[in-house]
Amino acid sequence: MQLDYIHINCRKQRTPYAVLMELMQHYNPRWPPRGLGPEKILAEVIKYLNGHDAYLTIGLDEVDFFIQQNGPDLLYSLTRAAEESGAPNRISIIAISRDSAFLHMLDAATQSTFMHNVIALDKYNAPQLEDILNYRIREAFKAGAVDEDTVSLIADVASRWGDARLALELLWRAGMIADEEGADVVTPEHARRAKIEVHPEVRKEALQELQPHEQLLLLALARKLRISKRAYALTGEVERSYRVVCEEYGEKSRKHTQLWGYLKRMDGLGLVDIQISRKLHRGRTQRISVADVPVAMLEEELERLLKAQVISKR
């Protein structure tokens, strides 16, 4: 007995004919790309399976997209392929979709095949995305070419949507940016620039609406991250940087409780991301990151806003 698995990306193989040709050419690579209609191609696949005592499992990835474009007829044909010949059913289907809504687009007969075997998978969390990224990094990058903080930052960004594809796209783009610069290491700043290109969320109006000391605190964070070249800064580090920035702009620094309130508000606005530090520190130390914009760009914009405020006071 022969057991086979064929994975088909339904965004690439967009038509029933393209899907069936991929099945046929798996068994007969020399099969001509033209000549028979979909029904005849499926009959040839069934003929091969019966003749070789083979069983085929087909993984239809993004099947919801396929059904929206073509309707449910191909799924029906695949699930009922053996009925006319009287042979055993040799085709099984794994339908992969972002959600189960596509089931309601199927006719009753096809729907009954899938409804009792639904497995709902949770979205990827940050540690899982880090594992995926590290595996790809071992395959695609030289050893030590991607900073550990860069991996954590990309995983944290993509975990908002639980999207491994976004994580991999950010990694790829960050690597390309580093390569274009001639850099030896892919840094968190490369990842931030990749985020702007892949999934832009720069909101200058949100910066303008911040209170002056919120702007000073965010500037302190941006400078700390730029100088350290890290993805995260601890709250104590940011407070020390903030006091230096206050001296620069002739402002009296605020107390810890006020600064924490500022950080929480900016976290709510999506300007910063606050997490409990994963590494061992005294107490419940928070780490703070900026993921949606290169910190050099953020620093420049905040300096421009603060300079305009100083001038307006004169």
What is the C-alpha to C-alpha distance for residues 312 and 229, in angstroms, rounded to an integer?
33
User: Is residue 286 over pLDDT 60?
Assistant: yes
| 85 pLDDT higher than 70 | no
Contacts of residue 152, defined as CB under 8 A and 6 or more positions apart, other chains included, come to 126, 130, 231, 232
In the sheet with 2-9, reading across from the earlier edge strand, the strands are: 2-9, 54-61, 91-96
Give the tens place of pLDDT for each residue, 110-167.
777 777 778 888 889 999 999 999 999 999 999 999 999 999 999 999 998 888 988 9
pTM listed for this prediction? 0.61
Please, what is the angle between helix 188-198 and helix 164-181, to 10°?
120
Q: Domain 204-313 falls in which CATH fold?
A: Arc Repressor Mutant, subunit A (1.10.10)
Q: Give me 76's structure tokens.
A: 């029906």
What pLDDT, in 10s, does the model give residues 176-198?
999 999 999 999 999 999 988 87
pLDDT at 296: 87
φ/ψ bin of 107: left (φ > 0), alpha (ψ from -120 to 50), beta (otherwise): beta
Name the more confident of 66 and 243. 243
Q: How far, in Å, CA of 176 to CA of 164, rounded?
A: 18
Q: What is the pLDDT of residue 89?
A: 83
Domain ranges of the chain: 2-115, 126-198, 204-313
Phi and psi for 240 in degrees, rounded to 5?
-65, -40
Identify the CATH assignment for 2-115 out of 2.30.30.30, 2.60.260.20, 3.40.50.300, 3.40.50.150.
3.40.50.300
pLDDT attached to residue 203: 63
The encoded tokens of residue 36 equal: 């028979």
Of 3.40.50.970, 3.40.50.300, 1.10.220.70, 1.10.8.60, the CATH number of 126-198 is: 1.10.8.60
